[in-house]
A and B are shown apart, each in its own frame.
Chain A
């Protein structure tokens, strides 16, 4: 006897499916697989919390842990040593009853200084990389997206005329100055309108041609910056400028944007050609929206990875600068400072070098591991089995 065939039930047509996961959840899961990266993340969070706690606990008029308090009679004590209470005034005694990490050559509590230094080192890293990333995304995005557009001959011409007009005006040749300025204005207006109106050519074709495209311009700037050995450049500028924490952050930032620019430009160049961009354009989506909503998320991945590693590099650079005497000036403590101050006492008080050294090592190591883990997790090739 023939069994009745099942009625066509469209719901079961596709059979069991893989459990659906949002893209973020999938990437997060991938990241979790990587043990080392997880450890990196955990320690980074610990570092972050320490830094925040540090700045809270060590700033203000009467901080919980005082990093700046000088007690010459207590100098160069090893970690875990007890304070000599007879020689100290009441408020000078260390908060926890012992010098957790010892004292430096001025009797300052190393533990307190490390706490303060954590926040400063972190800030230096983040701000420097923040500057680099902002500059890099702007330059890279410009080069990648508007690459073919650029400054045209007629724009240059009008600019030159305007400038020379002003110069001559101020030099005394009033009539000539005004005349040039006027011609400059006319050409400027013409150059603007010649692009709006179709078929209305006030401007001969050869003047409307692009002199330098943004792409070439920006990549040349990258090349020029790359010709300077990076540490030298930073050292030179930092040495020539007055010492200040802000200068250091800005300089490190302004010398590390080249990598991000290249990444972003490469991503934009390849994304621009992809079908989904043409599709969006065909639907009439405006340029800005395309960039921010569609292309940016894809381009973010390599930028994110290089930023985490960039923070690590910035912290190491600051340590190097401190070693040479150009680091963040007192009263700020940074781990680089503490490390370099300790170099004079390396045989007498090795903890002054070891503690910040090991601390920097661990934090930078974690950033690097975290960055690599991010890179593997965000790698599209690896997320599709």
Chain B
């Protein structure tokens, strides 16, 4: 078992290394200069451009830049090119903003998908199943921002509740419960949006897993033993159907640093997604690369955790 962990960590570190190289190359090989040192930009005098170049080692060959970049990253000294603030602290700040969205969205997705998927599978072909299927397809197919605007219009017109931003402007002195409710209202729609796509996909997957398990021989044996239907479905079938989902828990991790750019743009939510988007526009390489790197770390950590969870949960696999 430990050899598995060791091998896995080594493999993932190698992958991480390659990811860092590839992302570095993609950014730097793209045509065009970072906007800070664009010689065309009249704001920058040649001296400033040169100073900028020296400070960020931009005149040195690529592999040297690579080393400098990652050295700075690991020592936490890395700074943004736009405003010279520490990248890591900027990321942290935006991360805290994105976190509530992420938590609420993930909770909604996981708590709603399972009951829907399981019920669809058990009553396959019935009204519930067919309408759930239809809704799932609908939600997967609608363009994100279109749906967002529809929801916004609906909520604003019907409930008269403001939904843009993290909180209503000017609420600073309001009593504590009002502030809290305000925050919740602002949180609700964006998280719901983020969750709907996830619910649609996940519930379909739950349904198909459950259907596959229900067709297995051991479910027939359970029935033949005289077990009541609840036990057959929720004890025997479900336990097997859930196996792949336990491993998916680990894969939630990368979502921490994602943050849908589109949703955050629409709601003017100052989160990670928008920060990355602004960095791309401004060609702020340190931020782009750092976000990329952190995301890769989370993906690899997530798959690692998934593998471990799978080991723990399936008795057939013992390394």
Contact = CB atoms under 8 A, between A and B. Distances in A.
Interface of A: 220, 223-224, 226-229, 231-232, 235-237, 239-242, 312, 316, 319-320, 323-324, 336, 339-340, 343, 346, 353, 357, 360-361, 364-365, 367-369, 372
Contact of A369 (B23, B137, B257, B296): B137
Interface string B8-51: 00000011101100110011001110000000000000000000
Interface residues of B, number: 41
Given A227-B296, A229-B254, A236-B288, A360 B143 contact: yes
B140 A368 contact: yes
B176 interface: no
Contacts of A232: 258, 261, 276, 291-292, 295
A316 B141 CA distance: 8
Nearest to A318: B143
A223 B11 CA distance: 11
B26 A236 contact: yes
A320 B26 contact: no
Contact of B144 (A227, A236, A320, A365): A320
A358 B23 CA distance: 37
Contacts of B86: none
Contacts of A241: 30-31
B19 A360 contact: no
Interface pairs A-B: 6 shortest CB-CB: A240-B30, A357-B146, A365-B141, A227-B296, A364-B141, A239-B280
Contacts of B144: 316, 320
Question: Counting chain B CB atoms within 10 Å of each CB, which of A229, A235, A242, A364 scores highest?
Answer: A229
Interface string B226-257: 00000000000000000000000000001001
Given A224-B22, A343-B149, 12 more contacts: A220-B15, A224-B15, A227-B300, A229-B295, A235-B280, A239-B280, A240-B30, A241-B30, A242-B31, A324-B277, A343-B145, A364-B141
A53 to B, nearest CB: 23
B292 A235 contact: no
Interface string B141-159: 1111110010001000000
Contact of B295 (A220, A228, A336): A228
A375 to B, nearest CB: 10
B158 to A, nearest CB: 15
B308 interface: no
Contact of B281 (A237, A239, A336, A339): A239
Contact of A320 (B31, B138, B143, B296): B143
Contacts, number: 105
Interface in B118-147: 137-138, 140-146
Contacts of B280: 235-236, 239-240
A249 to B, nearest CB: 18
B265 interface: yes
Given A227-B299, A239-B281, A360 B146 contact: yes
A320 B281 contact: no
A372 B300 CA distance: 31
Question: Counting chain A CB atoms within 10 Å of each CB, which of B26, B145, B153, B281 scores highest?
Answer: B145
Nearest to A346: B149
Nearest to B215: A381
B129 to A, nearest CB: 13
A364 B141 CA distance: 5
B262 interface: yes
Given A220-B18, A227-B19, A239-B280, A319 B143 contact: yes
Contacts of B137: 365, 368-369, 372
Question: Counting chain B CB atoms within 10 Å of each CB, which of A224, A242, A368 scores highest?
Answer: A224
A299 to B, nearest CB: 21
Contacts of A220: 14-15, 18
A226 B299 contact: yes
A323 B299 contact: no
Contacts of A235: 261, 277, 280
30 contacts: A224-B19, A224-B22, A226-B299, A227-B295, A227-B299, A228-B19, A229-B254, A232-B292, A232-B295, A235-B261, A235-B277, A235-B280, A239-B281, A240-B30, A241-B30, A312-B141, A316-B141, A316-B143, A320-B144, A343-B145, A353-B146, A353-B149, A357-B143, A357-B146, A360-B142, A364-B140, A364-B142, A365-B137, A368-B137, A369-B137
Interface string B261-292: 11001000000000011001101000010011
